[in-house]
């Protein structure tokens, strides 16, 4: 049994407006599975496919109060392309952001609701990822996170150090998943979190039990009628185990 990363879940005060920004930013299509939910995926995409990690925006009145512990890095192909992307995103409503990054070759920005993201300098590693180069998770111990997530999912571990751990789909396509060491301490529920999905035919209860034996903890939201299970990884980052599919 195993899971795979299929989408990023982002809370939004206005899911439709923020979804419109990210659709333009990524060049993706927009749909909705119901009120208060905006779904983004590449045009012509057949879900789920590791060639892309989709984005679901969920309406929530809760304000953003701290730096997100999960963000996306956007890929570029040249210095000129990086500058062009930054300018285009500013025109769409993004702003430059300072998270203490100092003098770095990438550009830190925030979307119209303040969610941080990076426009990377061109790097050969990300030449074939699509618009999202990596989904980045702040953590205290990348090695421990690599042990958990490397067993939780069937993605391949590409790098692990005291400061960084990197995984990617075993098919070698789509964005990377990166766990980056940071001194920041988790204090609130993550506004952006990962959604993972077991494969067709897998037993979701057995998969949830397996993840708990790996170090996940169950989170009871009081909703027994939803087709997903909310868990937290060993550092307390919430994630959803979706129905097999």
Q: What is the pLDDT of residues 132-189, one digit of tens each?
A: 999 999 999 999 999 999 999 999 999 999 999 999 999 999 999 999 999 999 999 9
Is residue 181 within 8 Å of 161, Cβ to Cβ?
no
H or E segment and range at residue 133: strand 132-139
Beta-bridged to residue 72, according to DSSP, are 135
- Where in the chain are the domains? 4-242
Question: Which pLDDT score, from 0 to 100, does residue 225 have?
Answer: 73
List b or e across 37-73, with b for residues whose CB sees 16 or more CB atoms inside 10 angstroms: bbbbbbeeeeebbbbbbbbbbeeeeeebeebbbbbbb
* Alpha carbon distances (Å) from 31 to 15, 144, 244: 11, 36, 21
Q: Which residue in 179, 188, 204 sits closest to 238, CA to CA?
A: 188
Is residue 71 within 8 Å of 190, Cβ to Cβ?
no
pTM equals: 0.96
Phi, psi of 107 (to 5 degrees): -110, 125
189-224 residue pLDDT tens: 999 999 999 999 999 999 999 999 999 999 987 766
What CATH code would you report for 4-242? 3.10.180.10
* Alpha carbon distances (Å) from 40 to 15, 26, 37, 131, 199: 11, 9, 10, 13, 21
Beta-bridged to residue 159, according to DSSP, are 166
Distance CA 184, CA 118 (A): 18
């Amino acid at each position: 049994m195993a899971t795979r990363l299929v989408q990023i879940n982002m809370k939004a005060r206005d899911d439709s407006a923020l979804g419109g920004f990210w659709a333009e930013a990524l060049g993706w299509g927009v749909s909705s599975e119901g009120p208060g939910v905006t779904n983004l995926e590449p045009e012509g995409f057949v879900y789920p496919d590791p060639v892309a990690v989709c984005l679901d925006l969920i309406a929530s009145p809760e304000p953003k109060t701290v730096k997100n512990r999960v963000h996306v890095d956007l890929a570029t192909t040249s210095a000129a392309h990086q500058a062009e992307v930054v300018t285009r995103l500013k025109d769409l409503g993004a702003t430059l952001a300072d998270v203490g990054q100092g003098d770095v070759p990438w550009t830190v920005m925030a979307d119209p609701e303040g969610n941080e993201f990076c426009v990377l300098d061109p790097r050969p590693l990300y030449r074939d990822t699509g618009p999202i180069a990596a989904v980045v998770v702040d953590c205290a111990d990348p090695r421990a996170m690599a042990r958990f997530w490397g067993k939780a999912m069937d993605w391949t571990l590409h790098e692990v150090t005291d400061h960084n751990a990197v995984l990617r789909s075993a098919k070698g396509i789509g964005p990377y998943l990166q766990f980056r060491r940071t001194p920041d301490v988790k204090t609130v529920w993550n506004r952006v979190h990962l959604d993972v999905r077991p494969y067709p035919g897998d037993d979701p209860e057995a998969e949830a039990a397996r993840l708990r034996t790996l170090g996940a903890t169950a989170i009871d939201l009081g909703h027994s009628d939803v087709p997903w299970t909310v868990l937290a990884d060993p550092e307390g980052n919430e994630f959803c185990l979706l129905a097999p599919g």
